[in-house]
Structure 1
Amino acid sequence: MANFLSLKLIDVCKVPPPPTAVEPSSLRLTFLDLLWLRFHPYQLLFFYELPSNEISFHDVIVPKLKSSLSLTLQHYLPLAGNLVWSSQSDVPVIEFVEGDGISMTVAESDGDFYHLSGNGFREVSEFHPLVPQLPVSHDRAAGIAIVTKFQNKGFSIGITNHHAIIDGRSSTSFIKSWAQICIEESSIPTPKQMPLYDRSVLTDPKDFEKLIAKAWQDLEGPNNKSLNLKFPPKKYGLIRSTLEFKHQNIQKLKEWILKKKSKNENFDSSSSHISSFVIATAYLCVCTAKLEGLKEGKLFFGFPTDVRTRLKPQVPLNYFGNCVVGVFVCLERSEVLRENGIILACDEISKAIKNCDDGPLNWCENLVSTICQMTNDYSEIQVISLTGSPRFGVYSADFGFGKPKRVEIVSAESPYLFSLTDGRNSDVVMEIGIVKKRKEMEAFVAIFNQGFESI
């Protein structure tokens, strides 16, 4: 039976940027933004332990968060605006007008802070009150909303991003800038963090912008410019858990893989470099195949990849907006379930990444209509997929109260979707967020742990 947190509403306010903000008040979406136009939002939840009982949550922490958020918005002005798609515009535009700002809600909760911020089994529904719902209507969508909630031994900051406005890298950069300014209000984002709004750095060689915009308008068209988001149907009885890939686990898998490759001429042993990401995701594919127990058929795996450094010319890492594409791998279940299944998965994932390096936008033309249709009917999605990245470094978001005790990607709420972050502790390469029914979760955790023991 679901547990529901009891919340006591303390304050609801709008945090505007300072009047001196000079960043662009209007920003056009690009073709890589448009891909995510009606996808469900990206929701992050940061848990922080209260550093001392002597520090007042309401008199010290909340005012610091508000004032530093306002100062941060002078560099991230589009986040304080709204997404609109007027009849005169070919594509949606982020617009900021005087009076706009980010909504912040402060509330107290009777939830168990250490239970929610732990690694154990937690019901998905327990997290819903801790992240804000994005205000969206047919013709207007807020870019981001924030809720801060008090816990019995700490507090949480819940952030909801409109996916068409920013991707994971841009979102994390904003959060880190906010944290930095919260510690020292006179500081400004580092050059690497300072957002770049120049849309000309992203080239559109095949006019994908018109293609994608038309696909959305035709979805429930004709000429449908609705901004209403498409949410997957709610599933009940799901629980959330966090597993860890430790350095010793990754190293053990890598040594085993390289040893097997060196003894089998059918495997490519020309390269001894296998990234931690490839090893971890290949291992997750094998664990999923074992859990499902199907011996025939295809296992589809897809993951987003940042293409800022893969495009020609390269796009600066501080570019503000979406700059990710999808990479897809098709595996034979019968081969994945063999003793050397993880080697096959590693090779195929590595090959897919290399193909993306060679032509990161080759997939766009064929998948535009597919993505729109998938968003229209999430039941069609049977692909193992990922969200987040250990490269974002979310655990470095220290607001002056210590690094987070836990970071959850709350929007990852599907049994087919794994969330990835860096690890809080130095011995952890990455944390894996998993959502499943309880019996499936118990079985998956057992498979995950037994795989390391059997090597």
Structure 2
Amino acid sequence: MFIKAWAYACKSYEEESPISLMRELEPLFDRDLIKDPTGLKLKTYPSDTTLSTFVTCCAYVSVCIAKATDEAQNAEKFALAFIPEDFKKEDGVVVVAKRIWSKTKMLDKGAIEGIEAVFPMFIAMLREGVKGISVAGSNRFGVYETDFGWGRPAKVDITSVDRGLNIGWAESKDEKGGVEVGLALNKHVMHLFHGIFYEGLRID
């Protein structure tokens, strides 16, 4: 939202004229909208178990990263228990997708449910040698539709993906419904990832 508002302000800027944002781009500072759900329980989960594009792609890319890193560095553990020890099995992507889906559904309880325990847990796992895989961006942010007055961007990269095992996420620039994935891995690991990624998509 901030990027879209910034782009709109830049594109519509005129000297000596105050900047006025469209209503849907105006910032909202109402802290009461976010409730602390501590102690509340979700009575029922929705029956819809359709996996989103984000969950499916995130699971597939994460397993490919895990396989490439495991082969290159003999690492066996990956963060947040999304990646099981037997991730090399044929159903590894399915298992990971289900785990990610179950975690995303927990957001239905509230955006900050259990947030106080996440950071200490993550630090403890890193101390045990667990590899962390994180995601930045979304295929729904519409970054390629953002225009600062110079036209649509030719290429969007998330610069922080080179810090550890991070995945940069965006919608496809030219294909509706497509996903653009950004990675920065060591050359040897990237070569392994490339082979594993395309091999998994091949239909015999």
TM over 0.5: yes
Q: Answer 1 or 2: which has greater strand percent.
A: 1
Q: 2:82 corresponds to which residue?
A: 330
Matched, 1:193 2:25: yes
Matched, 1:353 2:131: no
Alignment of 1:244-323 (within 5 A): 273-293=50-70, 297-300=76-79
Matched, 1:363 2:114: yes
Deviation >6 Å, runs of 4+: 183-187, 377-381
1:155-204: CA deviation from partner (whole Å, max 9, x where unpaired): xxxxxxxxxxxxxxx43233333344249977732211111123343345
Which runs of no fewer than 5 residues in structure 1 stay unpaired? 1-169, 207-269, 301-327
Partner amino acid, structure 2, of 1:201 = L
**Deviation at residue 416 of structure 1 after TM alignment:** 0.7
- Matched length: 192
Matched, 1:430 2:179: yes
Distance 1:453 1:441, change over 3 A: same
Distance 1:179 1:422, change over 3 A: farther
**Deviation at residue 287 of structure 1 after TM alignment:** 0.5
Say what the alpha-carbon RMSD is for the aligned residues. Answer: 3.3
- Give yes or no for contact 1:182–1:399 (8 Å, CA) kept in 2: no
Q: Of the candidates 188, 195, 199, which is equivalent to residue 439 of structure 1?
A: 188
- Give yes or no for contact 1:417–1:434 (8 Å, CA) kept in 2: yes
Q: What is the percent sequence identity of the aligned residues?
A: 26
**Deviation at residue 428 of structure 1 after TM alignment:** 5.8
Q: TM-score of the superposition, structure 1-length normalised?
A: 0.37
**Deviation at residue 449 of structure 1 after TM alignment:** 1.8
Distance 1:432 1:175, change over 3 A: farther
Distance 1:193 1:285, change over 3 A: same
- Give yes or no for contact 1:414–1:436 (8 Å, CA) kept in 2: no
**Deviation at residue 279 of structure 1 after TM alignment:** 0.7
1 CA distance for matches of 2:119 and 2:75? 29
Partner amino acid, structure 1, of 2:137 = G
Q: TM-score of the superposition, structure 2-length normalised?
A: 0.77
Partner amino acid, structure 2, of 1:193 = L
Q: 2:156 corresponds to which residue?
A: 407
2 CA distance for matches of 1:204 and 1:385? 24
Q: 2:6 corresponds to which residue?
A: 175
2 CA distance for matches of 1:378 and 1:423? 36
Alignment of 1:4-403 (within 5 A): 170-182=1-13, 188-204=20-36, 273-293=50-70, 297-300=76-79, 328-334=80-86, 336-369=87-120, 382-403=131-152
1:362-407: CA deviation from partner (whole Å, max 9, x where unpaired): 3223235457x68xx9997721111111221111111333200011
- Give yes or no for contact 1:387–1:419 (8 Å, CA) kept in 2: yes
